Amino acid sequence: MTHNPIFVATHPRACSTAFERVFMTQRDTLQTIHEPFGDAFYYGPERMGTRFESDEEAREQSGFAQSTFKTILERIEREAAEGKRVFIKDMAYYVVPPEDQN
């Protein structure tokens, strides 16, 4: 039976990681993915975050400089194909562009 992923979109300092850790205890049935879209948000060619905008060296050294939102979704699909239901916890602002970037 195929299960849709469980996606928790949160904001910083919301105690969501503690909530996520409860799901991490269910390793037999759930694959937990912690903040996957942050890679594309901060480091990739589609980045929306400005933290590393002028620091190409840091982006390259992160190992995520080529991460795109598509590659993140492909990773999630691969992990779902392993048979476990996927639980994703991520920051809402990683996947919703700022109003001035729409």
In tens digits, what is the pLDDT along the chain, a chain of 102 residues?
468 899 999 999 999 999 999 999 999 999 999 999 999 999 999 999 999 999 999 999 999 999 999 999 999 999 988 889 999 999 999 998 777 765
Indicate the number of domains in the chain.
Answer: 1
Q: Does residue 102 lie within any of the structural domains?
A: no
Average pLDDT, the chain: 92
Structure tokens belonging to residue 98:
């700022």
Compute the distance between CA of residue 77 and CA of residue 59 in angstroms, rounded to an integer: 25
Its domain, for residue 11, covers 6-97
Asked if residue 73 is part of any domain, the answer here is: yes
Dihedral through CA 11, CA 55, CA 44, CA 84, nearest 10? -50
The widest CA-to-CA distance across the chain, in whole angstroms, is: 46
- What is the rounded CA–CA span in Å between residue 46 and residue 40? 7
* Closest C-alpha among 51, 50, 52, 48 to residue 96: 48
**What is the reported pLDDT for 2?**
62
